[in-house]
Amino acid sequence: MKLKEVNGIKFTDGGVCAAKGFRANGIQCGLAHSGTSVTKKKNDLAMIAADTECTAAAVYTTNKVKGAPILVTKEHLKNGKARAVIVNSVNANTCNADGVEKANKMCELAAAELGISPEDVIVASTGVIGQVLPIEPIANGMKELAEGLTYDGNPRAVEAIMTTDTMPKEIAVQFELGGKTCTMGGMLKGSGMIHPNMATTLTFITTDAGISAELLQRALSDIVKVTLNRASVDGDTSTNDMVCVMASGTAGNKIVAHEDGDFEIFENALYAIMMNLARMMARDGEGATKLIECVVGGADSDKTAETVAKSVITSSLLKAAMFGEDANWGRILCAVGYADAEFDINNVDVRISSEKGSVEVCRNGAGVEFSEEKAKEILGEDEICIIINIGNGGHSAAAWGCDLTYDYVKINGDYRS
């Protein structure tokens, strides 16, 4: 899909290996769902390693049920430092009595191969909840995984974190800080159990920019609110959500330690990474055929605009209409109307657009005549934008979702098998 540009940010290649001093790898170590065999040769274990110690930050799921890797990673990142990531797919290591023990063991195994402290390892897992994670395949594959780390290993790593994802999701950008060229790259998994609440994703971001741990955490906490927290596929918030960033400082810029112009540039780069990853995640929603972007303007606050945009992209009826390429604008207005926000519905205008054009379907809270034939042509594209104005305010927000298809039910009806 087409990347969305952000002013002053240049796209480049390499994902999590784009920044200086980061290596990655992914292998198939042999994990499989209980009662099944490994029949598809897809990588299921990944590692990212930095050549030097990094400042690090993370945000996590708000679900009360949290995967054991999150509990371990939270402890490890209390000092704002990290050196590596170890992550598996297939099994989420969640709701298991020995989950923390297994998560710690993964860190120990990775650290032993890398010659670092286990406390400098971020650990993550994704997959089926409630099944015991077999540690033996991971232990047996760790040496191969570490020895295979390369500065262009990002494709192998991103494959290893995929579950029901149909495509790899990675991106990298370059930007200037104090006359130094800095690079930032990221990879993400996420296709189902996606809802605005930290989303349902594992996201790993690396950068060679130098920034303090405190400001790195602030930047990540700020940007996740306007990117991943505004993506939804099905309304389910996972137990294993995690986004982490490691910053090595090897680009040689003056350490960003104050909320100045350099911090603003850094946040802008992080936004470019996370916004585009959020769009990729929504586009690759389980069974999805279309990316739906909802842009709300004219609001009295960012929060009001965000609430309305989220309400629209999470509407099951609207998502089904988009799949059917039906310009049923009443479903849009319905979702606008039940949003938990204050505004005058009589001021609401709605327009739908895509690369095939644009058509107004609602003005001042009431329908207007439009060509159903043209609307169907617009909705036939795989990226649809719903543009809503709710008044004369100066605030706006965007949110991203996808259509709801027959395949979503098929995928989730037999997810464990």
Q: How far apart are CA 50 and CA 14, in angstroms?
A: 15
Closest listed residue to residue 194, CA positions, set 160, 158, 163:
163
Residue 200 annotated in active site: yes
Phi then psi for residue 72, to 5 deg, are: -70, -45
Q: How far apart are CA 68 and CA 95, in angstroms?
A: 8
CB-CB contact of 247 with 211 (8 Å): yes
For strands 45-60 and 121-125, give the pairing. unpaired
E-strand spans in 347-394? 349-354, 357-363, 366-367, 383-389
Q: Residue 295 contacts by C-beta under 8 Å, 6 or more apart in sequence? A: 309, 385, 386, 387, 388, 396, 397, 398
Q: CB burial class (10 A; 0-12, 13-18, 19+) of residue 289?
A: middle
Closest listed residue to residue 192, CA positions, set 128, 130, 124:
128
- Can you give the C-alpha Rg of the chain in angstroms? 22
Distance of CA 1 to the CA centre of its chain: 15
Q: How far apart are CA 365 and CA 386, in angstroms?
A: 15
CB-CB contact of 394 with 385 (8 Å): no
For strands 242-247 and 202-207, give the pairing. parallel
Q: How far apart are CA 62 and CA 106, in angstroms?
A: 24
CB-CB contact of 261 with 1 (8 Å): no
Catalytic, out of 55, 200, 227, 307: 200
Q: How far apart are CA 139 and CA 288, in angstroms?
A: 36
Distance of CA 13 to the CA centre of its chain: 18
Angle at the Cα of 378 (from 373 to 381), degrees rounded to 5? 130
Q: What is the DSSP string of 98-164?
A: THHHHHHHHHHHHHHHHTS-GGGEEEEE-SBSSSPPPHHHHHHHHHHHHHT-BTT-HHHHHHHT-SS
Give the residue numbers annotated as catalytic, written as ranges.
200
